[in-house]
A and B are shown apart, each in its own frame.
Chain A
Amino acid sequence: MIIRSLETALEAIHDGAVLAVPREQSGVAMAATRALIRRGVGRLHLVALPTSTLQADLLIGAGAVATLETSAVSLGELGPAPSFTAAIKAGTIVMKDATCPAIYAALQAAEKGIPFMPLRGLIGSDLLAHRPEWRVIDNPFGTNDPVVLLPAIKPDVALFHAPMADAQGNVWIGRQRDLSTLAHAAERTIVTVERLHDGNLLDDPVLAAGTLPGFYIEAVALAPRGAWPLPLPDHYPADTAHLAEYAKMAATAAGFDKYLMNHVYEQRAA
């Protein structure tokens, strides 16, 4: 059965998993993230395509992340991400700094089942200097043209939130194509959705164009307002008052713990 309860759907995300998640504008599974923290998930290798906001900060603050691979973490207009910043300064997580297209390219390599992808840029940067696994070769089709090769990122699990799915596990993602990249690249994909669609999404050619086939999907869980307090683009905006409260509370360890108690361990309705 593809449609499961939230807790059951998340079983595939084991401690130490390479977990890939999307940027805020694509649909972040925040209800699922809170459920993972309640379950006590740990040692995650979190890959954020290509950036993250509250999701990474919350997971880091809760001690669930061992390694973070992304291009940036912040709270946008609300300023720095407090748990991320504190963890880097304290050295409690391994940070693999990237640039946005490098994360896309490495996941695209996994989509294609190839070991690496070349990318322009990066040469002469300290991003490259701190990544021994990124190699520079001379373009074999040119002369004296150095180019960077990035090894594929093959996530164990991709996790995101989408507007709707049907009973076959087909998920409607609309124009949020990053979600397709994540699902194609990952071993397994877990999706939370606002609602279940009555019928088969692939039957309607208009909907089918924005549908991720159930073939790629391990589990779907119903989670109305499952991106809250982040936005679900085209559906609802960010809860900026709540995010401002988070930014304030997470500035101290005691405040962050209180936030977890109030909003994560207490299963408060969104």
Chain B
Amino acid sequence: MSGPFRDEELLAAHVADLIGDVRHVAVGNASPIPATAALLARARGKGRPYVSLLGSRRHTFFTDGGVELFDCAGQGRIDVFFLSGGQIDGEANINLVSIGDHDKPTARFPGSFGSGYLYYVVPKVILFRTEHSRRTLVPKVDFISAPGASDPNVYRTGGPICLITNRCLFDFDRASRRFRLASLHPGHSLDEVIEHTGFDFDQPDAVPITKAPDAATLRLLREVVAPEVAEVYPQFAAHVFGFTRAA
């Protein structure tokens, strides 16, 4: 990676652009870069969108328990959510459960969290995986925590719009159930992406480079967002921004 910014800052800035102009962004567990992106979007939008960070006291408005998030989502009151997977395949199926035989797995992940519901009902789900390898981006997942697409009769008001990795951004086309390479991050090549991706994907004739964050974005990230992120992800904030909260 070249340039006076870290990979995490590039990804967070780009995800903030992907969030767009919406009313409510929610971020689940173990998602420091999406949390950073959502808070950056809010800092840019002077308070819009509402941001709900699970596990945060300050950056969530819910007062009715964990169920309120899912009730909101069921009604279409959450516009953007983030999901990842131990494995993600070419049809955007995600696996948060295990590798190998389900009853005798060779690897076990924490579990599916809210994915088996939120993937269906949040209009813009941004898939996020910072390890872009054939180990993580596979032809077919071993366990479907949530499917990337559903049959036409299945109630589905949401789903994946893209997959962002440490190497590139893919858009997801729900009709063809395929990813399409949208941009390469600075310093990464098409050959490298092909080499490290386990599934087939579409690509344009000329692949653009992911836009680098500008000075104003970097300043917002480091001065406004970093202390906010530190409440929920202290280790991440210390590692990426060198931010340590006063005791």
Interface residues, chain A, CB within 8 Å of chain B?
Answer: 23, 25-26, 49-51, 70-74, 76-77, 80-81, 84-85, 88-89, 91, 97-102, 104, 108, 119-128, 130, 144-147, 175-178, 180-181, 233-234, 240
Contacts and interface: CB of A to CB of B under 8 A. Distances in A.
Given A178-B65, A181-B65, 18 more contacts: A25-B54, A51-B29, A72-B110, A73-B111, A74-B110, A76-B30, A77-B235, A88-B98, A98-B116, A99-B112, A99-B116, A100-B66, A121-B119, A123-B154, A127-B145, A175-B63, A177-B63, A177-B65
A84 B150 CA distance: 31
Given A51-B111, A71-B111, A122 B117 contact: yes
B110 A127 contact: no
Contact of B70 (A26, A85, A97, A100): A100
Interface residues of B, number: 50
Interface in B95-131: 96-98, 102-121
| B interface, over-half SS | loop
Interface in B32-85: 54-55, 57, 63-68, 70, 74
B2 interface: no
Contacts of B191: none
A64 to B, nearest CB: 19
B110 A91 contact: no
Contacts of B54: 25
**A-B pairs with lowest CB-CB distance, top 7:** A99-B116, A177-B65, A72-B111, A121-B117, A74-B110, A101-B70, A72-B110
| A interface, over-half SS | mixed
A67 to B, nearest CB: 15
Given A102-B117, A178-B66, A126 B111 contact: no
9 contacts: A23-B66, A51-B110, A71-B114, A74-B29, A74-B30, A76-B30, A99-B114, A120-B117, A121-B121
